[in-house]
Amino acid sequence: MLGKGFAVSAVVALLVSTAPAFAASSGGELKPFSLSTDGPFGRFDAAQVQRGYKVYREVCSACHSMNLLSFRNLGQPDGPFFDAKYKNPNDNAFVKAIAKDYNINDIDTETGDVVQRPGTPADRFPNPYPNEYAARAGNGGALPPDLSVITKAREGGPAYIYSLLTGYHDVPRGLEVPAGKYYNPYMPGDLSSFWSGDKDKVPAGGFIAMAPPLVADKVSFDDGTKSTLEQQASDVVAFLDWAAEPKAGERKRTGFAVLIYLALFAGLLYASYRRVWKGVKH
Amino acid sequence: MSGHSTYEPKTGFTRWLDSRLPIIRLGYDSFVDYPTPKNLNYWYTFGGILSLCLMTQIITGIILAMHYVPHVDHAFNSVEHIMRDVNHGWLIRYVHANGASMFLFAVYMHMFRGLYYGSYKAPREVLWILGCVIYLLMMATAFMGYVLPWGQMSFHGAVVITNLLGAFPVVGESITTWLWGGFAVDNPTLNRFFSLHFLMPFMIAGVVILHVWALHVTGQNNPSGIDPKSKEDTVPFTPYATVKDGFAMVLFLILFSVFVFFQPNALGHADNYIPANPLVTPAHIVPEWYFLPFYAILRAVPDKLGGALLMFGAIGVLFVLPWLDTSKVKSLRYRPTARVFFFLFVLTCLILGWCGGELPDKMVFQVGATAAGDPIGLNFVWLSRIASAYYFAYFLIVMPVLGLVETPDAVPDSITASILDHSAEKKGLAHAG
């Protein structure tokens, strides 16, 4: 009765039934967005992630920390500045130069005084604010979230960040925007108490404390790529998605080897099964 | 363990050991010579798959514990340290996190199989109850494990679930304070959850040994539900069952690998990549998928204590199942009416899982609206009430009553006869189709 076909459909049904657990949040329908790394066959685009790093460094890092990232990560395999010449990313000349541009707080071990020294690849990305209170004070009470795992920490992932960055919109007539806030149709929220129009047509989205961060030509790309808003946004999302899981490339490559191995092993075991059970009615 | 041992030590050392500690004999009798019904189908491979899952979780868990820091200030970052800096840490962590889902998935398959073929019926009541104990321990272990990364969903899930115990009159508050190690979910809670999460898998392993022991005393049930009558009905465990189990295990590992390597976060929730913040509650607190049916039962009751009791009752009812089923026939293969109710029950579990993941007031379907603009139709809280009612009715009404009133099909005399019947029936179906 419970045949093989039923077993397969039961597996599928059970997995499909889990889908509501990650249903989308209340923001607007996300813009279509894709990255070169998408899917099992995705490829890492170092040039795009390099451009994205430049956007992060020149724009985002003024307010947002990335506490989980170290400069050495930029030079490790699958990192934007990986160079096969340097097995140890701490030796990567480009990464060293990037780190050196930053002043890092440290303690002088001779005197105990707080001093500043040039960064090294082993240092973490420095935090733009000394503490959470300073960060809130500088941003009208809102705390700019740490961006280390941001593409994994939001429903919709990269498409959500891209939509948010490029989705700032003229304020609909009838919507009262509080001082220091901006309307964004992709930000989750409930605008009904700020809406004076038709109560069945409350605009999608919410208020965000971040002013539109990107505009065309805000960042100039060294490889000559035209610096449109969409280009900057998709590049910085590519960088953030890499930063959220720098080992994702290694994961997918390992996955292929594992699946090929398991497929062969399954074939062998099936052949053994047929042979062992040959002649036994069951 | 059952029947006469046929093990014969061949070398001097094994003869010496066998007269002092017959451990090789135990292994031989249990996993080589052990007679298994020859009609076991692939639904019977989940037992072996589950032992593989338990071993995988214990091994990866021990390695994770070498790098994880059970402290509210460090837990989240130590998990990310494992993902970023530990050699193959991403693999170990993703295997462990997805392994929990795969483990629970396999246990649900194993339980539905037991329900369908009547594996809980005499003389296997103790075997079934031990299985229920394992399931309960697994749920506790999975819940505590999900708290450890100390993300938003970890923290707020822990708050919601531990608060349920506070609903019990008189002792509730003392129990939660004792469980938390304080007056809120905080560092002492995380610390003890880590300790218990490490302990419980070994308790599971202990009960698994009892489960296998009980299995080997009564012998395996089989799709016909008829106990083996002659040697003709069985085959030795090795190589017959081992090769079939091995093949199924590898198929299971393929599904497992697709998740680990290509969709590692699909079964998780984005909020758990945000560090826990007691001051910010996520918009929508949902447990992991394997708890969703019980979460739906919990929310189906407007009263907190009532909901908690019903939720625990949904698991509790499984323990008395062997005495609720009055049918003389074990396998649903020969109970066409019971089969219909069984598939309705499976569907109900899936519907409850669906309800658990949706907001209670959301509409399943809408047929219109009242003058005030409120929607008319079925919302998820009412769907979960209907489904919860059937969940309990299946065990408390259908099982006792149906066994007395239904007319089962003719049951074959032996396993061998059932195989002939079954393959004839299959061929007939193929012709009809």
Closest residue in chain A to residue B274, using alpha carbons only: A153
> How far is B145 from B199, CA to CA, in rounded Å?
11
pTM of the predicted protein model: 0.93
- Chain B nearest C-alpha distance from A106 (Å): 21
B147: nearest Cα among B90, B87, B79, B89: B79
- For residue A64, being part of any structural domain is answered with yes
CB atoms within 10 A of CB B401: 12
For residue A83, is it within any domain?
no
Distance, in Å, from the CA atom of B277 to the CA atom of B430, rounded to the nearest integer, reads: 59
Mean pLDDT for B153-171 is 93
DSSP class per residue in B170-223: TTHHHHHHHHHTSSSSSHHHHHHHHHHHHHHHHHHHHHHHHHHHHHHHH----T
Between CA B33 and CA B38 the distance in angstroms is: 13
For residues B292-303, give the mean pLDDT: 95
Q: How far apart are CA B191 and CA B356, in angstroms?
A: 29
Per residue in B136-149, pLDDT (tens digit) is 999 999 999 999 99
Query: What distance in Å separates the CA atoms of residue B130 and residue B134, rounded to the nearest whole number?
Result: 6
Within an 8 Å CB–CB cutoff, is residue A4 touching chain B?
yes
For residue A40, the chain B residue with the least C-alpha distance is: B262
Cα within 13 Å of Cα(B388), Cβ side: 26
pLDDT of residue B3: 58
DSSP, collapsed to helix, strand or coil, labels residue B343 as helix
DSSP H or E run through A184: strand A182-184
Q: What is the CATH number of the domain that holds A39?
A: 1.10.760.10
Do A18 and B289 count as a contact with CB atoms less than 8 A apart? Answer: yes
For residue A215, tell me if it sits in a domain: yes
At B415, is the pLDDT very low, low, confident or very high (cuts 50, 70, 90)? very high
Tokens representing B32 are 């080589």
CB pairs under 8 A between A and B: 140
pLDDT score of B369: 85
Percent of chain B with pLDDT over 90: 89
The pLDDT tens digits of the residues spanning B322-371 come to 999 999 999 999 999 999 999 999 999 999 999 999 998 899 988 888 88
Q: In this predicted structure, what is the pLDDT of residue A41?
A: 85
Averaged pLDDT for residues B40-44: 96
- Give the amino acid at A200: D
Interface of A with B in 31-50 (CB under 8 A): 40
Mean pLDDT of B98-124: 97
Domain count, chain A: 1
Report ipTM for this prediction.
0.91
Question: What pLDDT is attached to residue B376?
Answer: 86
**Testing the interface with A: which of B252, B257, B260, B420 to mutate, by most A Cβ within 10 A?**
B257
Q: Is residue A179 part of a domain?
A: yes
pLDDT given at position A23? 36
Task: Pick A20's closest partner by Cβ from B38, B247, B357.
Answer: B357
Residue type, B178: W
Residue A184 belongs to some domain of the structure: yes
The one-letter code for the residue type at B17 is L
Please give the full DSSP string across B144-171, using - where no structure is assigned: HHHHTT-BHHHHHHHHHHHHHHTTSTTT
Taking a C-beta distance cutoff of 8 angstroms, is the pair B57, B96 a contact? yes
DSSP string of A119-183, one letter each residue: --TTSBPPPSSSSHHHHHHTTTTPPPPP-TTTTTSSTTHHHHHHHHHH---PPPTTB-PPTT-EE
Q: How many angstroms separate the CA of residue B173 from the nearest CA in chain A?
A: 30
Q: Is A200 part of any domain?
A: yes
Within 8 A of A7 by CB-CB distance, chain B residues are 42-43
Res A18: pLDDT: 44
Q: What is the DSSP string of B108-126?
A: HHHHHHHHHTTTTSTT-HH
> Which candidate from B80, B254, B350 shows the least CB-CB separation from A262?
B254
Q: Which residues of A touch B257 (CB under 8 A)?
A: 255, 258-259, 262
Q: What is the distance between the alpha carbons of residues B77 and B82, in angstroms, rounded to a whole number?
A: 9
The answer to the question of residue A41 being in a domain is yes
Instruction: Mark which residues 202-231 of A lie under 8 Å from B by CB.
Output: none
Query: How do the pLDDT tens digits run along chain A, 282 residues long?
Result: 445 555 555 554 444 444 433 333 456 689 999 999 998 888 889 999 999 999 999 999 999 999 999 999 999 999 999 999 999 999 999 999 999 999 999 999 999 999 999 999 999 999 999 999 999 999 999 999 999 999 999 999 999 999 999 999 899 999 999 999 999 999 998 899 999 988 888 999 999 999 999 999 999 999 999 999 999 999 999 999 999 999 999 999 999 999 999 999 999 999 999 999 998 988
Reported confidence tier of residue B374, pLDDT bands at 50, 70, 90: confident
Arithmetic mean of pLDDT, B305-318: 96
The answer to whether the CB atoms of A21 and B243 lie below 8 A apart is no
Report which of residues B422 and B101 the model is more confident about: B101
Output the pLDDT for position A22. 38
Residue contact B350–A252, C-beta within 8 A: no
Determine, for residues B270 and A259 on separate chains, whether the beta-carbon distance falls below 8 Å. no
Rounded to whole angstroms, how far apart are CA atoms A175 and A181?
A: 12
Question: According to the model, what pLDDT value does residue A26 have?
Answer: 52
Which structure tokens are listed for A186?
């992709």
- pLDDT tens per residue, range B47-90: 999 999 999 999 999 999 999 999 999 999 999 999 999 999 99
A88 in reach of chain B (CB within 8 A)? no
User: Is residue A75 situated within a structural domain?
Assistant: no
**Do B265 and A152 count as a contact with CB atoms less than 8 A apart?**
yes
Domain that holds residue A36: 24-69+124-273
Q: What is the pLDDT of residue A12?
A: 47
Q: Read out DSSP for B387-431?
A: HHHHHHHIIIIIHHHHHHH--PPPPPSSHHHHHHHHHHHHHHHHH
